């Protein structure tokens, strides 16, 4: 069964833009990205949209659909009433380049600020041994497809451009947590602790556990419960533990 769907799509660039209404044919089983492609193929050949795998694995087609951060390729048209107006806008937290395409380079800057895994000095590659439970813990975080929807939704930077300098966002705090929980990461032994870095350099304290990042994750990673809260607990232990404070001094 096909029908005519009503899309309201944002067109514009860094200097400004507008929402324009379009009527686009929709067929059974299609997703929002299919309709955006049909729009490109018919009325709007210059509509800019970033996409790649169309299978929810590349993290490219992130946008806001009716104001909610989502992957366009994983949002089924069947979740909307056939007469509903579906609004498609670019992610709000990042600067627009054109139409639905944003400049997400903020995230690559933050990624570079997280120091890499440091292998133990006394082990050669091939000699690393880990418990399965530790492997599984980091595997959950490794499912991240870097769609940056969690970064887009987090109010700390969504509503406060001036926090971007100090706050790395849930995706990269999760990376710090993954490394902190890695039993072979030797960084804490040689330099600053990862939880200290999370607090001082990645703005962990600005996260007030709203859980919006977890709600929008297309991989269903428990970002808040399994990464951010444990990281906060470890940071608080180090900072407030009276004995540790004494040693620090």
Binding site for ligand F3S (CB under 6 A): 153-154, 156, 170, 207-213, 224, 228
Min CB(10)–ligand F3S separation in Å: 23
Give the 3-state secondary structure of residue 114.
coil
Whichever of 52 and 210 has its CB closer to ligand F3S, that residue is: 210
Min CB(182)–ligand F3S separation in Å: 21
Whichever of 87 and 214 has its CB closer to ligand F3S, that residue is: 214
| Residue 189: its H or E element | helix 187-190
Two tokens at 21? Answer: 């209404």
Min CB(217)–ligand F3S separation in Å: 10
Whichever of 87 and 93 has its CB closer to ligand F3S, that residue is: 93
Min CB(162)–ligand F3S separation in Å: 16
Instruction: Considering only CA atoms, give the Rg of the chain.
Output: 21
Whether residue 97 contacts residue 13, with contact meaning beta carbons closer than 8 Å, is answered with yes
Min CB(212)–ligand F3S separation in Å: 4
β-strand partners of 4: 25
Whichever of 9 and 227 has its CB closer to ligand F3S, that residue is: 227
**How far apart (Å, rounded) are the C-alpha atoms in residues 148 and 51?**
14
Region class of 118: left (phi > 0), else alpha (psi between -120 and 50), else beta: beta
Whichever of 2 and 208 has its CB closer to ligand F3S, that residue is: 208
Give the residue carrying structure tokens 């962990």: 204
Whether residue 75 contacts residue 32, with contact meaning beta carbons closer than 8 Å, is answered with yes
């Amino acid at each position: 069964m096909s029908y005519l769907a009503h899309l309201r799509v944002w067109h514009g660039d860094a200097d400004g833009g507008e929402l324009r209404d379009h009527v686009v044919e929709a067929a059974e089983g299609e997703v929002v990205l299919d309709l955006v492609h049909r729009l490109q193929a018919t009325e709007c050949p210059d509509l800019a949209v970033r996409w790649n795998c169309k299978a929810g694995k590349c993290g490219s087609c992130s946008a806001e659909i009716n104001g909610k951060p989502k992957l366009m390729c994983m949002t089924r048209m069947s979740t909307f009433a056939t007469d509903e107006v579906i609004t498609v806008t670019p992610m709000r937290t990042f600067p627009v380049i054109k139409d639905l395409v944003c400049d997400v380079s903020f995230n690559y800057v933050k990624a570079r600020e997280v120091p890499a895994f440091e292998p133990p000095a006394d082990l050669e590659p091939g000699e690393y041994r880990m418990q399965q439970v530790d492997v599984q813990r980091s595997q959950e975080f490794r499912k991240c497809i870097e769609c940056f929807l969690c970064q887009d939704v987090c109010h700390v930077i969504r509503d406060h451009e001036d926090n971007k300098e100090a706050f790395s966002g849930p995706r990269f705090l999760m990376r710090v947590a993954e490394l902190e929980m890695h039993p072979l990461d030797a960084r804490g032994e040689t330099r600053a602790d990862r939880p200290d870095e999370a607090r001082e350099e990645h703005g962990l304290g600005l996260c007030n556990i709203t859980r919006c990042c977890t709600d929008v994750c297309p991989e269903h990673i428990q970002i808040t419960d399994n990464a951010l809260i444990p990281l906060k607990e470890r940071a608080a232990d180090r900072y407030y533990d009276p004995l540790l404070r004494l040693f620090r001094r």
